[in-house]
C-alpha cells in the first residue's frame, strides 16, 4: 500500500495560496519599479529644465519666457512630489505583501516538512513489516523442515 498524506488537500491549498501571494508580490514589485523609474525620469527632466533655463538666462530671456520656464519647473516639481508619495505608498504595499507571502510560504513549508516526516515514518514501518514477513516465512520454512 502506497503512502497517502492525510493533509494532501490542505497542502495543495497552501501551495496554491503561496503561488497566488507570490504573483501578487511580483505585481507590486513591478509597480514599485515603474514608479521609481518614473520618479527618476521626472527628476532628470527637472535637472534638464534647470540647465536649459540657466542657459537661456545667459542668452537673455523675455519675461514671458521666464514665467513659462518657472511654471514648467513648478509642474515638474509637483509631479515629482506626487511620484515620491506614490513610491512611498507602493513600497509600503510591497513590504506588506512580502509579509503575507512569507507567512504563506511558512505555512506551506510546515506542511511539506510534516509530509516528509510522515512519509519517512511510513517507509520505516513498511520496511519493518516486510522484514517481519520475511522472518515469519523463514521461521515457517524452518519449522516445516524439522
- pLDDT tens figures, 32-54: 999 999 999 999 999 998 898 88
How much is the pLDDT for 123?
95
Cα–Cα distance between 102 and 22 in angstroms, integer?
9
How much is the pLDDT for 61?
67
How much is the pLDDT for 62?
72
Tell me: the pLDDT tens digits for 103-143? 999 999 999 999 999 999 999 999 999 999 999 998 888 88
Domain formed by 8-145, architecture: Orthogonal Bundle (1.10)
In angstroms, the first-to-last Cα distance of the chain is 34
Contact at 8 Å (CB) between 42 and 83? yes
How much is the pLDDT for 112?
96
Contact at 8 Å (CB) between 108 and 71? no
Q: How confident is the model at residue 1 (pLDDT cuts 50, 70, 90)?
A: confident
Query: pTM of this prediction?
Result: 0.77
How much is the pLDDT for 146?
67
How much is the pLDDT for 30?
98
The 3-class SS string of the chain reads: CCCCCCCHHHHHHHHHHHHHHHHHHHHHHHHHHHHHHHHHHHHHHHHHHHHHHHHHHHHCCCHHHHHHHHHHHHHHHHHHHHHHHHHHHHHHHHHHHHHHHHHHHHHHHHHHHHHHHHHHHHHHHHHHHHHHHHHHHHHHHHHHHC
Tell me: the pLDDT tens digits for 75-105? 999 999 999 999 999 999 999 999 999 999 9
For the chain, domain boundaries: 8-145
Amino acid at each position: 500500500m502506497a503512502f497517502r498524506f492525510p493533509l494532501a488537500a490542505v497542502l495543495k491549498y497552501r501551495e496554491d495560496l503561496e503561488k497566488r501571494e507570490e504573483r501578487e508580490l511580483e505585481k507590486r514589485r513591478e509597480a514599485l519599479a515603474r514608479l521609481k523609474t518614473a520618479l527618476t525620469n521626472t527628476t532628470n527632466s527637472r535637472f534638464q529644465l534647470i540647465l536649459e533655463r540657466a542657459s537661456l538666462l545667459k542668452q537673455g530671456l523675455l519675461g514671458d519666457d521666464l514665467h513659462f520656464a518657472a511654471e514648467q519647473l513648478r509642474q515638474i516639481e509637483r509631479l515629482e512630489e506626487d511620484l515620491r508619495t506614490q513610491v512611498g505608498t507602493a513600497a509600503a504595499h510591497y513590504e506588506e505583501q512580502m509579509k503575507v507571502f512569507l507567512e504563506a510560504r511558512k505555512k506551506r513549508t510546515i506542511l511539506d516538512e510534516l509530509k516528509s516526516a510522515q512519509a519517512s515514518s511510513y517507509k520505516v514501518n513498511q520496511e519493518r513489516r516486510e522484514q517481519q514477513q520475511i522472518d515469519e516465512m523463514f521461521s515457517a520454512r524452518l519449522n516445516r523442515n524439522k
